[in-house]
Amino acid sequence: MHHQNQEDQALRTLLKTYERALNASDTKAVLELYATDGVFMPSEAPTSIGKAAVEKAYDYVFSQIRLNIEFTIDELEIYEGVAFARTISKGTTDILAAGISIPEENRELFVLKKENGAWKIARYIFNKMRPAQN
């Protein structure tokens, strides 16, 4: 059981680090958390496959918005070298061009895998919890 606890803690740390990287609009920090063949599937946007495409996608996101969110882990399952996490993120998004801040609430699914002994984000998808308010 002890081994499982260590893995659990490592995954929670990874997700917390991802949260901090998002809130800091830090593409480089985000990329370090992705697997080499990582896939990013954002809400209402194209799928990015591989680090170069993922980097472009986050650079674009961070040029448009600034996030201030917190992740809550609803479910975390660990298998041999693979894991998944189901999360909710809540907070605010600053729309940089408009100079406004709006509430943000998404749900996420992370598929994580071990790469060179460290957990990395292999697949990541999120979508909005409710329709945009006009």
- 6-40 tens-digit pLDDT: 999 999 999 999 999 999 999 999 999 999 999 99
CA 8 to CA 39: how far, in whole Å? 22
Per-residue pLDDT at 1 exceeds 80? no
Average pLDDT rounded to a whole number, residues 108-120: 97
Beta pairing, strands 48-49 & 65-78: unpaired
The pLDDT value recorded for residue 3 is 78
For residues 31 and 21, the answer to whether their CB atoms sit within 8 Å is: no
Mean pLDDT within 91-100:
96
Which domains are present in the chain? 2-128 (3.10.450.50)
DSSP string, the chain: -HHHHHHHHHHHHHHHHHHHHHHTT-HHHHHHHEEEEEEEE-TTS--EESHHHHHHHHHHHHHHEEEEEEEEEEEEEE-SSEEEEEEEEEEEEEETTTTEEEEEEEEEEEEEEEETTEEEEEEEEEEESSPPP-
| Structure-token pair, residue 15 | 């997700």
Mean of the pLDDT values across residues 77-100? 96
pLDDT value, residue 58 = 98
Average pLDDT over residues 105-128: 97
User: What pLDDT, on the 0 to 100 scale, is given for residue 134?
Assistant: 55
The residue type of 33 is: L
pTM for this model (two decimals): 0.94
pLDDT of residue 131: 74
Confidence check: pLDDT of 99 > 60: yes
pLDDT tens across 39-82, in order? Answer: 999 998 999 999 999 999 999 999 999 999 999 999 999 998 99
